[in-house]
Amino acid sequence: MRLTFDVNGVGQQADDVWPGESLLYVLRERMGLPGTKNACEQGECGSCSVYLDGTLVCACLVAAPQAQGRAVRTVEGLATDSAGGLDHIQQAFVETGAVQCGFCTPGLIMATDDLLANTPTPSDAEIREALAGNLCRCTGYEKILDAVRLAASRRTEVTP
Amino acid sequence: MTATTAIGAGLNRIEAAAKVTGAARYAGEIPLDGHAYGSVVQSTIARGQVTMIDADAVLARPGVLAVLTHDNAPRLHRADDTDAELLVLQDDRVRYRGQAVALVIAETLEQARAGAELLDVTYQPEDHDVVFAADHPRLYAPEHVNPNYPTDTSVGDVDAALASAAIVVDATYSTPAEHNNPMEPHAAIAQWDGDRLTVYDSNQGATSVRQALTTLFGLADGAVRVLSEHVGGGFGAKGSTRPHAVLAAMGARFTERPIRVTLTRQQMFAMVGYRTPTIQHMRLGADADATLVALEHTAYSQTSQVLEFAEQTALISRLMYAAPNLRTRHRVVALDVPTPRWMRAPGEAPGSFALESAMDELATACGVDPIELRVRNEPSVEPDSGLPFSSRNLIACLHEGAERFGWASRDPRPGVRRDGRWLIGTGVASSTYPARSAPSTAAATALADGSFVVEITASDIGTGARTALTQIAADELRAPTERVEVRIGDSDFGQAMIAGGSMGTASWSWAIAKACRELLHTLHEIGTVPPEGVTAHADTAEDIKAQAQLSRHAFGAQFAEVRVDVDTGEVRVPRLCGVFAAGRIINAKTGRSQLIGGMTMGIGMALLEEGVMDPQFGDYVNHDLASYHVPVNGDVHDIDVSWIDEHDDRLNPVGVKGIGEIGIVGTAAALANAVWHATGHRHRHLPIRPDRVLTSLA
Ligand code: FES
Ligand code: FES
């Protein structure tokens, strides 16, 4: 099938898509966007988190045809408004030391973006719940939670 | 020692921006023109023979380019030290379930996978033996244990001392198979240009992979280049070449195209190594004032039919406590199972669970505080070898940790603190890990614009090595970090130690310091930097050979608080505290993360992680992240990590001990000891699952 959809604000088309392909596969192997990671491919780790029409999904669990005519946003599309710089969430992950090997990081950034868009001043319990589906084998999560707290505090500074 | 400006500061990770934007490229993400994909077919029996592979139907499928099997795969060369796991597709023997028996190559990954799933492989199965036991009839004493330690050691007369000891602890502990599970699955893309091979690979050391591939493909020195700029974790699972890289190179040679092979999460459980299960028999004897008179540690572990991997489980007992009569032994059995390999603190992680649990049992039996027991049995030299320690600050860590954790007010009685349905307890354990260095080479270049470039085949698997090495080079060159670029992950930079054994930073910093000092010396002589720049090279092989014989180890103390749910048997960990004496900490931010990460993996080891072997099918049945549980954020709460200021100038020029592994050593024992303190029940078998807790409470 032919898949037509929007990725990070740009119209895209993929031909000869087998209906069994995942959105993750299309992004990584067809669109050349490997920022979205594949660490389990069965919905267990959150590394593949992207927005599908504004809803956070595991791209590995979305069949490619489900993206037909819809808009996908990946980690590569987050910071575009600030001229290639980092957005405040990405900046917070860098500063707090929340990134080690970085393989879980894109998924966590997406999950944090989604959390703070809906809950600008999350409690610790809300942060933990929002990131419950994201596995990280390196950091022990502590610095990731710090990063979310820092990003939330900065966000409320700029948009009270 | 280096004058410090950058060292010790919490410099942000240099490649962090590339990682948070998704720009960082890992091995399986490198696009090479015209590349195709290989998908691994794994054996579905544990022992036997491949009698037929019917590839025709798969070859007829759209996009399929080739099916590599033992019949048509390129022949590999072997040297004496060749890792037999890498001799993939060379014969028809099946030595464990999950072994690679074919590689299906196709234009797209989906086509390759579909072909791999459909490939018809016929076997002649044989009876397999996959069940590990301490009374297995084929247990034997290996010639040495990893990497090259004596299998057995004995000082004094343990049996006589135990017979006359006032107090004896005699207990058996076990730890299950554990799987490293770095978040990045192993991947490689290989490309041939005549007899030159380039491989982008996820590994912990590009020169070791280069060496292996050079031998396997019978190539000239310098014909292979291995690159690994970003690596998504390893924890030992990427410590040496793994079969995926060989398969990618074979596929590329066969098809004359670049071939990418990425393992799936499920495939990793059999193909990249795991921590062996262990059974450990401890016998401790003390006199009435809690002075150890005897310590015996006998460790059993498994290996595969492919190669001998002998975990150094009892090593820790050779150096921790001053027992005048001290015996350690290792026994191994070769089963029809995937080959166990290194996993974060191999030896020390499982060994510390047994030793530090047994010490806790001894403290109770003697009626002394567990910290006091360790103080009373602190050795002045390494008990087994008699070697002096280059530095040993275990007691300082225990005292500092006791202070931070609030140990002094602890009521030693078990099972008496209750908050609703929760029983509460605290525990302590010691940590240690060897502080070694290995030969490495490095080059430092001064450029005419006043900046510097340092090249070393280091690997940053998430440790922060790139950043720490930049700080070290900057201080050596007396330049700000922004003017120093450290390039890593390219075997063309020359031989260097892998990121393993907590030896990476110690080894690489030595070579970098030497190259930088040499460069400054040259610059001093020539005055100005010529337009083409000037480079100094260093090799530390001779320096390391000339090192004095000493016992070099990092030490630490870990404290744990647990809450045990009496209705569900669940164990929660509200807080952990770790204090470490690990030489100089180069980067406070990345260093703390390393230690927290290690302790978190220790929570997994204590409470969650367990590879379950199915005796009937010879398979680790829970081979995915849904059924093999690693800690999630809800499992981890307050982890307080600190270190004491330790200067040890008998390690290496920068004074580094290495911190990648010590964080996991002792965590499981501290937690098990806390569960005992909470419930009054001793858990000697990991993980401390809810069903085990409930059974003990019933
Ligand atoms: S790759 Fe999608 S959840 Fe793990
Ligand atoms: S940083 Fe490595 S998995 Fe999270």
d(CA B115, CA B109): 10
CB contact under 8 A, A32 and B19: no
Beta bridge partners of A22: A63
Edge-first strand order for the sheet with B292-304 is B153-155, B325-335, B292-304, B278-286, B167-175
The answer to whether B576 contacts chain A (CB < 8 Å) is: no
What pLDDT sits at residue A79?
80
Convert the pLDDT of each residue in B448-467 to its tens digit.
999 999 999 999 999 999 99
pLDDT at A159: 53
User: Coil, strand or helix: which one is B474?
Assistant: helix
Ligand 1 centroid, distance to B621 Cα (angstroms): 20
Supply the pLDDT for residue A85.
84
Spell out the residues 6+ positions from residue B426 whose beta carbon is closer than 8 angstroms to its own: B405, B407, B410, B559, B560, B561, B562, B674, B677
B420: Cβ–Cβ under 8 A, 6 or more apart, which residues?
Answer: none
Q: What is the pLDDT of residue B8?
A: 85
Token representation of residue B381: 């030299």
Distance CA B583, CA B297 (A): 28
* Separation of alpha carbons B176 and B280, rounded Å: 12
Given a contact cutoff of 8 angstroms between Cβ atoms, the answer to whether B110 and A20 are in contact is: yes
pLDDT of B394 reads 98
Q: Which residues pair with B93 in a beta bridge?
A: B49
Q: Would you list the domain boundaries of chain B?
A: 16-25+438-545, 32-127+181-271, 144-178+275-435+550-697
What per-residue confidence (pLDDT) applies to B599? 98
3-state secondary structure of B657: coil
- The residue contributing the CA closest to ligand 2 atom 4 is A136
Phi-psi region of B450 (alpha: psi -120 to 50; beta: other; left: phi over 0): left
CA atoms within 13 A on the CB side of B526: 16
Question: Which three-class secondary structure string do you get for B5-36?
Answer: CCCECCCCCCCHHHHHCCCCCEHHHCCCCCCE
Flag if B625 and A143 touch (Cβ within 8 Å).
no
Q: What is the pLDDT of residue A160?
A: 43
Asked if A18's CB is within 8 angstroms of B19's CB, the reply is no
| Residue type at B683 in one-letter notation | H
For residue B161 the two structure tokens come to 């001392």
> What fold does the segment set B16-25+438-545 form as a domain?
Aldehyde Oxidoreductase; domain 4 (3.30.365)
Determine which helix (DSSP H) or strand (DSSP E) holds B505, and give its type and residue range: helix B504-526
CA distance to B27, B321, B457, B499, B517, per residue, from B203 (Å): 9, 36, 11, 9, 29
* Residue of A94, A95, A142 to mutate, interface with B, max B Cβ within 10 Å: A142
SS3 category, B650: coil
Would you call B13 and A99 a contact, using CB atoms and an 8 Å cutoff?
yes
Mutate to test the pocket of ligand 1, among A29, A40, A137 (most ligand atoms within 8 A of CB): A40
What mean pLDDT do residues A114-120 have?
Answer: 97
pLDDT, residue A155, reads 79
Provide the shortest C-alpha distance from residue B345 to chain A (in Å).
15
Cis peptide before B258 (omega within 30 of 0): no
Buried b (16+ CB within 10 A) or exposed e, B408-441: eebeeebeebeeeebbbbbbbbbbbbbbbbbbbb
Amino acid at B12: N
Token reading at B187 = 């991947």
Taking CA–CA distances from A131, the nearest residue in chain B reads B633
Give the C-alpha separation, B62 to A6, whole Å. Answer: 28
Ligand 1 atom 3, closest CA: A43
Cβ <8 Å between B633 and A74: no
Domains B16-25+438-545 and B144-178+275-435+550-697 share a fold: yes
Instruction: Sort out which chain B residues have CB atoms less than 8 A from A131's CB and list them.
Output: 633
Rounded distance between C-alpha atoms, residue B536 and residue B446, angstroms:
9
Question: Least CB-CB distance to B636: which of A25, A37, A141?
Answer: A141
d(C-alpha B193, C-alpha B34), whole Å: 14
Q: In chain A, what are the domains?
A: 3-78 (3.10.20.30), 88-158 (1.10.150.120)
Task: Please judge whether B233 and A138 are an interchain contact, meaning their C-beta atoms are less than 8 angstroms apart.
Answer: yes
Residue A100 confidence (pLDDT) above 80: yes
The residue to which tokens 């000092």 are assigned: B517
Long-range contacts of B314-318 (CB under 8 A, 24+ apart): B314/B280, B314/B347, B314/B351, B315/B145, B315/B149, B315/B347, B315/B348, B315/B351, B316/B347, B316/B348, B316/B351, B316/B352, B316/B355, B316/B432, B316/B665, B317/B351, B317/B355, B318/B153, B318/B382, B318/B383, B318/B384, B318/B385
Is any ligand 1 atom within 6 A of the Cβ of residue A106?
A: no
Show residues of chain B in contact with A102, CB under 8 Å.
15-16, 18-20, 24, 230, 232, 462
Q: For helices B465-477 and B504-526, give the axis angle rounded to 10 degrees.
A: 30
**For residue B374, what is the enclosing H or E element?**
helix B370-376
Residues of A in contact with B235 (CB under 8 A): 137
Q: What is the DSSP string of chain A?
A: --EEEEETTEEEEE-S--TT-BHHHIIIIIS--TTS--SSSSSSS-TTEEEETTEEEEGGGSBGGGGTT-EEE-GGGTSGGGTTS--HHHHHHHHHT--SS-SSHHHHHHHHHHHHHH-SS--HHHHHHHTTT---SSS-SHHHHHHHHHHHHHHHHH--
Q: How far does residue B259's CA lie from ligand 1's centre (Å)?
A: 24
Q: Are B450 and B533 in contact (CB under 8 A)?
A: no
Q: How far apart are CA A143 and CA A104, in angstroms?
A: 13
Task: Name the residue of A42, A56, A131 whose CB sits within 8 Å of the most ligand 1 atoms, as the mutation to test its pocket.
Answer: A42
Cα gap B513→B476, rounded to integer Å: 6
Give the binding-site residues of ligand 2, using a 6 Å CB cut-off. A 99-105, 136-139; B 183, 233, 462
Backbone Cα Rg of chain B:
26
Query: Any bridge partners for residue B579, and if so which?
Result: B557, B642
- Whether ligand 1 lies within 6 angstroms of the CB of A108 is answered as no
Contact assessment for residue B427 and residue B557, using Cβ atoms and an 8 Å cutoff: no
| Residue among A38, A44, A137 minimizing CB distance to B626 | A44
CA B304, B308, B309, B313 dihedral sign is: positive
Q: Which residues on chain A are in Cβ contact (under 8 Å) with B600?
A: 139-141
How many whole angstroms separate alpha carbon B102 and alpha carbon B123?
A: 13
pLDDT at residue A9, as a whole number: 95
Structure confidence at residue B398 (pLDDT): 98
Q: Residues near B211 by Cβ (< 8 Å), separated by ≥ 6?
A: none
B143 is catalytic: no
On the 0-12 / 13-18 / 19+ scale of CB atoms within 10 A, B583 is: buried
Architecture of domain B32-127+181-271: 2-Layer Sandwich (3.30)
Please tell me the distance in Å from A44's CA to the nearest CA on chain B. Answer: 6
End-to-end CA distance of chain A, in Å?
Answer: 46
Give the number of the atom of ligand 1 that is nearest the alpha carbon of residue A59: 2
The bridge status of strand B36-42 relative to strand B100-106 is: antiparallel
Burial-class residue B696 by CB neighbours within 10 Å (0-12, 13-18, 19+).
Answer: middle
Q: Which residues of chain B have pLDDT under 70?
A: 1-4
Which residue from B minimizes the CA distance to A27?
A: B29
- Per-residue pLDDT tens digits for A30-73: 999 999 999 999 999 999 999 999 999 999 999 999 999 999 99
Question: Looking at this protein, which amino acid is placed at residue B427?
Answer: G
Nearest to B321 by CA among B425, B172, B169, B503: B169
B633 touches chain A (CB under 8 A): yes
Which among B12, B23, B626 has CB closest to A42? B626
Query: Alpha-carbon distance A128 to B85, whole Å?
Result: 41
Which atom in ligand 2 lies closest to the alpha carbon of residue A138?
2
Q: Ligand 2 centre and the CA of A141: distance in Å?
A: 9
Q: Are B465 and B507 in contact, with CB atoms under 8 Å apart?
A: no
Residue B579 Cα to ligand 1 middle (Å): 35
Q: Do A100 and B235 touch (CB under 8 A)?
A: no
The more confidently predicted of residues A84 and B542 is: B542
Nearest to A5 by CA among A81, A78, A64: A64
Q: Does domain B144-178+275-435+550-697 have CATH number 3.90.1010.10?
A: no
Strand partners, B297: B282, B328
CA distance B603 to chain A (A): 10
pTM over 0.95: yes
Instruction: Give yes or no for B590 touching A (CB within 8 A).
Output: yes
For residues B601 and B636, the answer to whether their CB atoms sit within 8 Å is no
What is the token pair recorded at B417?
């603190």
Q: Check B21 against A76: CB less than 8 A apart.
A: yes
A41 pocket-lining for ligand 1 (C-beta < 6 Å): yes
More confident position, A123 or A158: A123
Instruction: Write the ipTM.
Output: 0.97
